[in-house]
């Protein structure tokens, strides 16, 4: 599998990644075992990058990834480079959502994501949607503080 650098200083990841929204029943019924089978096959194919979000299945996608990693005997993220998103509150399946980039929300959701994933640090943590009520400078400062604390390695923005 061809590898690429994630950003200027980031991890080397496979050119193809896994989008894990399907681990959350968004596209139809699934279960943890199916998610684990997909992740095992991805590893066999040399895929080393996963993209998920805290809002996918209200954390179910992250939890499925975390339980797979735990079964591999790897508490720390050594098998995959993990990207997860934050900034949407609510249920994306029903469309009843709101955007929240406040420092308190980002902090709480980061801690919850780390717990569900079972890792000490996330490779790429990015804002899923921008909320117009929180100044972008405040969002960036909050994300930078997570890097400094060692909770994330890099950050970015999606669909802003």
Catalytic site positions: 56
Quick one: 62 exposed, middle or buried, by C-beta within 10 A (0-12, 13-18, 19+)? buried
The gap from C-alpha 45 to its chain's centroid, in whole angstroms, comes to 21
Burial of 21 (0-12, 13-18, 19+ CB in 10 A): middle
**Are the beta carbons of 74 and 41 closer than 8 angstroms?**
no
């Amino acid at each position: 599998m061809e590898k690429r650098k994630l950003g200027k200083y980031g991890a080397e990841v496979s050119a193809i990644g896994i989008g894990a929204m399907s681990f959350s029943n968004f596209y139809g019924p699934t279960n943890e075992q199916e998610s684990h089978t997909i992740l095992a096959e991805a590893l066999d194919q040399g895929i080393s990058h996963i993209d998920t979000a805290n809002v996918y299945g209200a954390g179910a996608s992250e939890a499925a990834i975390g339980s797979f990693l735990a079964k591999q005997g790897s508490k720390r993220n050594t098998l995959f480079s993990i990207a997860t998103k934050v900034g949407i509150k609510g249920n994306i399946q029903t469309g009843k959502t709101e955007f929240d980039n406040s420092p308190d929300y980002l902090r709480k959701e980061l801690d919850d994501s780390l717990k569900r994933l079972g890792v000490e640090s996330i490779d790429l943590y990015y804002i899923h949607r921008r909320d117009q009520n929180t100044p972008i400078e405040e969002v960036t400062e909050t994300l930078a503080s997570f890097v400094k604390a060692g909770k994330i390695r890099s950050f970015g923005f999606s669909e802003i």
